[in-house]
Amino acid sequence: MKPTLHIRFLTGSTALLSGLAGCSSAPSQDIFGPYFPSWMLCALAGLGVTFLFHQLFVATGIDKALPAPLVVYLALAVAVAFSTWIAWFA
């Protein structure tokens, strides 16, 4: 006997909703009143530090020697963002 459409819908929706149950308490920081998601602050820190490293690399001439600058700067931004997350919430 094949399951009816109603049972398939209930099973699928239950599986989807149970997957979202872990998202109820996202870490956030109170900044001047509103709550900002913490991942956004870590991403901004990663972008800011990467911009400072870019200025340092241009000043020292390292920027011209990078094989794929976009990949290097993206990896640097992600590494700084993850490091900020670990240092802040560990």
Residue 41's pLDDT is what? Answer: 85
Residue 62 lies in a domain: yes
DSSP strand E in the chain: where? 28-30, 35-37
* CA-angle at 50, arms to 49 and 52, nearest 5°: 65
Residue 37's pLDDT is what? Answer: 76
CB atoms near residue 63 (< 10 Å)? 16
**pLDDT tens per residue across span 38-84:** 788 889 999 999 999 999 999 999 999 999 999 999 999 999 999 99
**Number of separate domains in the chain:** 1
Residue 88's pLDDT is what? Answer: 83
Q: Residue 31 has what DSSP assignment?
A: S
Residue 1 lies in a domain: no
Residue 73 lies in a domain: yes
Nearest to 85 by CA among 25, 41, 35, 36: 41
Domain that holds residue 60: 38-90
Residue 12's pLDDT is what? Answer: 67
Question: What proportions of the chain, in percent to the nearest 5, are helix, strand and coil?
Answer: 75, 5, 20
Residue 64's pLDDT is what? Answer: 92
User: Is pLDDT at 2 greater than 70 in this prediction?
Assistant: no
